[in-house]
Each structure stands twice: as C-alpha cells, then as structure tokens.
Structure 1
Amino acid sequence: MIWRALLLVLVSWAIGFMWFAVSLPQPLADKTTDAVIVPTGGAGRIAHGLEILEAKQARLMLVTGVDPDVKPAEFAAEFDVSMQQMQCCVVLGYIAEDTRGNAQETADWVATNKIKSLRLVTSDWHMRRAAGELRSKLPTNIAVVEDAVATQPTLFTLFLEYNKLIASWFSR
C-alpha cells in the first residue's frame, strides 16, 4: 500500500514537472500599469523593465533585491539610465535577499506609493513562484500582470525551480 502511495506521488511530481517545463509563462504584449517590478537575478529583466518605463507603460519602476553596494549612479551607468529618470521613476530596493523578500519589499513599496496595478518582470522559469509569493503579500485589490522574460533554462534550473515552487506552496 505504501509503495502505491509513493508511486502516485512520484508520477504526480513527474507529470507536474513536465507541465512546468513545457508551459513556461510568456512575455506580455503592450499593457499599461502603475508600476513595473523587477526582481534582480536574471539576464534581461532590468533592461525589459526599463523598456516598459521608456514606453510609458508604467510610471514607476522598483528594482527589488539590489546589492547594497550598488549605488544609484552605478546602476544608471550600467543600464544607461539618465539621473533625471533615476530620480523620478526608478527606485532601487536594497532589503530583499530572496524571492519571498522581493515580494515583501514590493508589497511595502506598493502600499507606500499607492500603486493599484503592477507588472512583474522576471525570468520565465521564475515567474510562477515570484508571482505566487507576490500575490500572497499584496491586498487582493492590487492587479498583478505577469510579463516573463524568455530564457533558455537548463534542465537543472527547471528542476530546482519546480521544487522551490512546490516548497513555496506548502510554506505559505
């Protein structure tokens, strides 16, 4: 009897993993929101967030999980952002150290800035967990739009992220 239960869990995990790996979230077409939220950690995320800001599809951008050693001027130089745009529209969040921390830092910032809608920009393989953590910290009246940055993750990256996603479901 225990073997059947274990086999059922293993088969369920494998089917879930296949779904996770072949149906990664996709980039979003044009959509306007109050803000764009970009957790650090993946190639193309910040550049895509800045494109959204430049296209006036959001008025503010929070980059959450920035290393405390990164100064605004360094960030501006690295990503070719004017100091005027940094001062008006780009906020660097230094508190978060992980995905759950990104969600809390974002929720605090959203409340302070009276944001009603946001676009979450993160890697396709990271989107489900990041969006889930974020939605668990935000009030239900805040609209969250998912805008995945397309990547080519390794099987190992997908394996780790799928297991982190499952763990996050159980720890909420």
Structure 2
Amino acid sequence: MIPRRFVVAFLGAAVSLVAFGFVLFANSVMREPELQNARADGIVVLTGGQTRITEAARLLQDGRAQRLLISGVNQKIGRASLLKISGLDEKIFACCVDLGYAALNTVGNADETRRWAEALGYDRLIVVTASYHMPRSLAELARAMPSIELIPHPVAPDVLRRKVWWLDATAARLLAAEYVKFLPAAIRLVVARGVTPWQATSVTAASGTPSKS
C-alpha cells in the first residue's frame, strides 16, 4: 500500500502544477499581441460575440484575405442579420462571406473550418475569436488542420481589458472556466501531434490589436 504522505505529496504537486499552468494561461491571454499586418488566404471567425464578426469583416474589408467564414452561426440567424452586424457592403458580403451553421462548439468550429479550407485549397488562415477563447480555438484548429498556418487575431472583451485580472472576480472566473476547457483541448493536440500544450497558444505571432467584445 502506498504511504499516505506520498499520496498527499503527489496531490499537492498536481494542484501546484495546475495552478501554475493557470497563471501561465491567464498571462498569455492578457498579454498585448504584437502589432502585425498579416495576410492570409482566408479568415475564420468563431461566433460568440457580435464584435468578433465586425472585426473579422473589417479585416476582410481591408484586404487581409480573400474570403471570410463565419463558423457556428445560430440556425435562427439569417444572412440579412449577419450582413447588418458585419457592416460590410452587400456586394462584398455576397461574394466573399460564407456562413457555417453546422458547428455547435469549438471542436465543431475546427471541423467546419477544415472542410471550408480544404474545399478552397487554403493553407493560411487568420483566426478571429475572443482573447480568452483563442488558446482553445488554436488547439482544436491545429489538431484538425495540422498543415494549415493559423494567425491568431484576438478580440478582447471589456472584462479582460483590465490589466490586473486577479483582482477582478468576474475576469478571474472567466479565465478559470476557460482554462478548464482548454486543458482537454491541449491534451488532445499533444496526443495528436506530439507538441507541448503551450505551442497551441502561439502557432504564430498574434495579429492586430484586440478590439472590444
């Protein structure tokens, strides 16, 4: 039988490791991204906030990519509503924006994006989502599309624009909840590709300045 002190020591070490990982995760999410003008074949925005779509549409309008995929669109939302949210010209929206209704979660976003990118022959994508959601999104996308280069373009919600997140209960809860979701995604990526979990959060340098979500 394993001595109790070893069990206690092991559990203590495990808790410390998870806590340290959370601090790394939170600091990574809160870090100001490097300013870039990266261009790609396509842009994918993972739904969950209106500002994400507006920001992705701005990148398309600026000529940063050829097409935009809005992944995970609610079945009840039609093209007219998304056109209004995007702020794009109707002609640009009609020619260059694709709507994905199949994805119900981040894993679904990754599968939907992979099918879209493969159909168009794209190998370089700008990824737009909330800053706290970006590490998990990159992990799932990288696992689904190992040969495609991913350029993160995080959109920062108001609650995470406060620099001292550990003094803000709402921000801390949001980051902790997302960290719990990120860990399984990182493990799946490690198993699939044999990389370290933190590589999932930095596939390439961040692109653009975070906007409010």
1:101-140 pair list within 5 angstroms: 101-140=108-147
Quote the offset at 1:44 in angstroms. Answer: 2.1
C-alpha contact 1:37 1:106 (8 A) present in aligned 2? yes
Q: Tell me how many residue pairs correspond in the alignment.
A: 171
Structure showing greater radius of gyration is: 2
Q: How much has 1:171 moved relative to structure 2?
A: 4.3
CA distance in 2, matches of 1:28, 1:134: 22
* Root mean square deviation of aligned Cα: 1.5
With structure 2 as the length reference, what TM-score do the two structures score? Answer: 0.76
Identity of aligned residues (%): 30
Letter in 2 for 1:146: P
Amino acid at match of 2:173: F
User: In the alignment, is the contact (CA less than 8 A) between 2:69 and 2:100 conserved in 1?
Assistant: yes
C-alpha distance in 2 between matches for 1:18 and 1:146: 20
Matched with 1:12 is 17
Aligned to 2:60: 53
Could you tell me how far 1:23 is from its partner in structure 2?
A: 2.1
Q: Structure 1 residue aligned with 2:98, among 87, 91, 95? A: 91
- Distance 1:43-1:87 versus aligned 2 partners, 3 A rule: closer
Q: Which amino acid aligns with 1:34?
A: D
Aligned match of 2:172: 155
3-state SS in 2 of match to 1:44: helix
User: CA shift at 1:158, angstroms?
Assistant: 0.4
Q: 1 CA distance for matches of 2:57 and 2:84?
A: 13
In 2, distance between residues paired with 1:19 and 1:135? 20
Structure 2 equivalent of residue 69 of structure 1: 76
Q: Deviations along 1:47-99, whole A, 9 cap, x unmatched?
A: 11011101101110000000011111121123322221122111110000000
Name which of structure 1's ranges 25-34 and 113-122 shifts more when overlaid on structure 2.
25-34
Give the TM-score taking structure 1 as reference length.
0.93
In structure 1, runs of 5+ residues without a counterpart are none
Deviation at 1:16, TM superposition (A): 0.8
